Amino acid sequence: MFLLVFLWSCVTLSDLESQVDLQYQAWCAQSETAVVERVYDGDTLFLQGQDNGIRLLGVAAPEVQSSSGPAECFGENSRDFLDALVEGEKIILEFDVECEDIYSRQLSWIFIEGDDPEIAGWMSDYDMMGLNEDGSYRLLVNELILRAGYATVFQGEVAKNIRYTDRLEKAEEEAEEEGLGLWSFCP
């Protein structure tokens, strides 16, 4: 014990800082809860009482049919999956480095908490984090969309958002390996 105290006293704080990579990460906003009013497509939704959409971070879902063109392969499926998962639900929004995209949509990680056996089953089958022994969960929706094969990892300008990047990349890789969703349906 004496040796440890002696060694500690010989090391200054600046020495420790140079040896340890200290990183402080500030998120652009604090977490908040809201209720989903409607889903636009597989990576964009609208909240009750808000005009601008919420863009799911790290997710690039195929486009749905719109005035700018036809639906992409699996676009409608992706939208329907997200819609069934979150429409009318209370969600938790967590933010990252950037809070808005170029279209003034909020960029967010979306979580839902609950005990729905179907969602708990997916989480168990896909070996996802956030599932408790009693069947309750805290689900990262962005991750499930990728793991079930309804989208790919977003590779655009907002790539500096880092909070759950490793989880998303793993989810996409596993869905592709298993040929889930768009990985088997789309050329």
Q: Which pLDDT belongs to residue 98?
A: 85
Selection from 96, 107, 79, 85 nearest residue 36 by Cα: 85
Distance CA 150, CA 181 (A): 6
Instruction: Say if residue 65's pLDDT is above 60.
Output: yes
Q: Read off the pLDDT of residues 95-109 as tens digits, 9 standing for 90 and up.
A: 988 888 888 899 999
Average pLDDT of the residues in 51-79 = 94
pLDDT tens, residue by residue, 100-146: 888 889 999 999 999 999 999 999 999 999 999 999 999 999 999 99
Record the tokens describing residue 130, joined without a space: 């956030």
Residue 159: pLDDT band with limits 50, 70, 90: low
- Cα distances from 80 to residues 154, 161, 178, in angstroms, run 19, 26, 21
For residues 150 and 18, which has the higher predicted lDDT (pLDDT)? 150
